[in-house]
Structure 1
Amino acid sequence: MRIGIVVDSTCDLPQEFLRANDIVLLPITVRIGDAVLADNRDEEATLEFLRAHIATRGHEAETQPFTTQQIRDLFLQRLVVDYDHVFCLTVTRTRSPIYDNAVQASFAILNEYRPIRQAAGHTSPFALRVIDTQTLFAAQGITAVEAVRLRKQEASVAQMRTRLEELAANSYGYMVPRDLYYLRARARAKGDRSVGLIGAALGSALDIKPVLRGWRGATEPVAKLKGFESTVEKLFDFTIGRIRAGLMTPTVCLSYGGELDELRFLPGYNRLHNECKEHGIEIYECVMGLTGMVNVGKGAVVVGFAAAPHEFKV
């Protein structure tokens, strides 16, 4: 059976990994004033756009994910012919309409695919499963990497579905933002009151940085620590602790809102890499997607992994 994997462009994985494993992307379009760019996970284009626009006007950006009609067209024009079953892994539905759009599109796709497949010489049925990863950014990468691994092992559709849904409920994304004023301005532009003015001002004045967690559809602060680099180091050390306790997949995903050389110079980065190597954990790291950066600002660090329920403690 030919199994396809679809993600949206908030899924932070290296572009070469997506290409090498034929992962299909649902791009999100970003508009800042007259500048428009489709977020196709092109790191160079993202960094260029970042240098030109995000620093000053990113909080004003408008983002437009694939609509129900666009998802329907993508499947009917290409995917129902290329694959027999597709897993569509989306950013948490609490932060984006992509999941709901994909579910809505699936009804039309399953009603209309038969003549298209028959014309291409395929007589078997087509099926798809939309899975809400319940998290975002680097943490979305966990289910995608596992889907690739299971496909290579020729796991059945039922086995893949069970495993991916299990991981979606246990994938954690931890983020340390660099600029709380930007985060608050962006949240206000979107009508999100989760980052208040007092909290942003206090954080900047005292150099307090929150650790935000994306898990099971909720995004919330789980710690407030002093200093950006110190907070990132504590997050890396916390991740090392979770690795030692045992992860649900041999995978850690990292994304950074800027040049990766900056990420690699942060304290604790080398310790995390050494720990992953010692435990047979593969690290996937990439520049944060443009959609992520316009929502959380430059310089944010995100760590994603799958683990049993736990609390963030340093």
Structure 2
Amino acid sequence: MRIGIVVDSACDLPLEYLQQHHIHLLPITVRIGQAVLADHRNEEATLQFLQAHLAERGFEAETTPFTVQQVRDLFVSQLAIDYDYVFCMTITKTRSPVFENANQASFAILNDYKPVRSAAGFNTPFSLRVIDTLNLFAAQGVTAVEAVRMRAAEEPPPKIRARLEQLVNATHGYLIPRDLNYLRARTRHRGDRSVSFLSATLGTALDIKPVLHCNRGETGPIAKIKTYEAAAQKLLKFAARRVSRNELLTPTVCLSYGGELAELRALPGYQTLRLACEQHGVELFESLMSLTGMVNIGKGALALGLATEQAAWDG
């Protein structure tokens, strides 16, 4: 059976990996004033957009995912021909309408695919499963990588589906913003009051950074640490302990960074995590953060995703 995998462009995985494993993208378009870029995970284009537009006015950005009609058209015109079963994995519906759009489109897709598929010479059924990853950014990558592994092992779709739906509940995403004033401006622009003026001002004055945690669609702070570098070190060493203790449900850790990856690799704690992954057979994926991620969390933000049933934080 030909199994396809689809993610939205907020899913932080390297473009080379997406291309190598034929993972299809639902791009999210970012508009800042008159500047518009559809995020196709192109690192050079993203960095240029970051440098030219994001730093000053990124908090005002509008993000637009594929509409229901665009998702339907992509599947009916291409994916329903190229594959027999497709898993579409999206950013958590608590933070974006991508899941709802894809889910609504799935009904039209399953009604409309037969004539197109038949004309292409395929008379067998086409199936589609839309899965809310219940997470965002780097943590979305954990589920996508597992889907790739299971497809390569030629596991049947029901087994892949059950595994992915179990995994999303145990996937944990972590975020460390570098600029709390930017984060406050962005959340206010979105109508989200989760970062107050007082906490942002005090945090900036005292150089205290929050560690934000996402699991099962819920996001909130789990720690406050003085200096960005110290917060990054605690998070990366926390992940290294999970790896070293064999506490991961999948041999995958995903990292993304809102800037050049050389800066990510220079962070304290990075080498500890990299070495732990090498010693325990865990793949460490590193990517430039998506435009959606940088727009919402800010330039220089760090994101990490892994799957475990252990405590969410012991930093």
Report the equivalent of 1:69: 69
State the TM-score, normalizing by the size of structure 2: 0.99
> 1:141-152 to 2 correspondence within 5 Å?
141-152=141-152
Report the equivalent of 1:59: 59
Report the equivalent of 1:293: 294
Q: Tell me how far 1:226 sits from its aligned partner.
A: 0.6
Q: Tell me how far 1:233 sits from its aligned partner.
A: 0.1
Q: Tell me how far 1:291 sits from its aligned partner.
A: 1.1
State the TM-score, normalizing by the size of structure 1: 0.99
Question: What secondary structure, in the 3-state scheme, does the structure 1 residue paired with 2:124 have?
Answer: coil
Matched, 1:183 2:183: yes
Q: Tell me how far 1:310 sits from its aligned partner.
A: 1.3
Question: What secondary structure, in the 3-state scheme, does the structure 2 residue paired with 1:231 have?
Answer: helix
Q: Tell me how far 1:309 sits from its aligned partner.
A: 4.2
Cα deviations by residue, 1:37-57 (Å, 9 ceiling, x for unpaired): 000100110000000011100
User: Which residue identity does 2:106 align to in structure 1?
Assistant: S
Question: What secondary structure, in the 3-state scheme, does the structure 2 residue paired with 1:169 have?
Answer: helix
Report the equivalent of 1:196: 196
Question: What secondary structure, in the 3-state scheme, does the structure 1 residue paired with 2:237 have?
Answer: helix
Distance 2:110 2:84 in 1: 12
> 1:98-177 to 2 correspondence within 5 Å?
98-177=98-177
Cα deviations by residue, 1:72-130 (Å, 9 ceiling, x for unpaired): 00001101000000000000000000001111000000011111111010010000000
> 1:40-59 to 2 correspondence within 5 Å?
40-59=40-59
Cα deviations by residue, 1:237-275 (Å, 9 ceiling, x for unpaired): 111121133100000000000000001111011111001
Distance 1:250 1:309 in 2: 15
Distance 2:174 2:312 in 1: 12
Matched, 1:255 2:225: no
Contact persistence 2:172–2:312 (CA under 8 A) = no
Question: What secondary structure, in the 3-state scheme, does the structure 2 residue paired with 1:37 have?
Answer: strand
Cα deviations by residue, 1:210-252 (Å, 9 ceiling, x for unpaired): 0001110001100011110011000011111211331000000
Residue 147 to residue 58, structure 1, CA distance change in 2 (3 Å)? same
User: Which residue identity does 1:285 align to in structure 2?
Assistant: E
Distance 1:46 1:75 in 2: 26
Report the equivalent of 1:231: 231
Distance 1:53 1:254 in 2: 24
Q: Tell me how far 1:313 sits from its aligned partner.
A: 1.8
Q: Tell me how far 1:13 sits from its aligned partner.
A: 0.2
Question: What secondary structure, in the 3-state scheme, does the structure 2 residue paired with 1:104 have?
Answer: helix
Distance 1:223 1:41 in 2: 30
Distance 2:37 2:101 in 1: 21
Contact persistence 2:3–2:86 (CA under 8 A) = yes
Q: Tell me how far 1:311 sits from its aligned partner.
A: 3.2
> 1:235-246 to 2 correspondence within 5 Å?
235-245=235-245, 246=247
Report the equivalent of 2:85: 85
Distance 1:86 1:220 in 2: 32
Identical positions, percent: 61
Contact persistence 2:178–2:299 (CA under 8 A) = yes
Distance 1:174 1:296 in 2: 12
Distance 1:71 1:50 in 2: 27
Please identify runs of 4+ aligned residues in structure 1 that moved more than 4 A: none
User: Which residue identity does 2:137 align to in structure 1?
Assistant: F
User: How much is the aligned-residue C-alpha RMSD, in angstroms?
Assistant: 0.7
Question: What secondary structure, in the 3-state scheme, does the structure 2 residue paired with 1:241 have?
Answer: helix
Distance 2:292 2:45 in 1: 12
Q: Which moved more, 1:244-253 or 1:71-80?
A: 244-253
Distance 1:75 1:248 in 2: 31
Report the equivalent of 1:11: 11
Contact persistence 2:212–2:223 (CA under 8 A) = yes
Distance 2:251 2:276 in 1: 12
Segments of 5+ residues of structure 2 without an aligned counterpart are none
Distance 1:309 1:273 in 2: 21
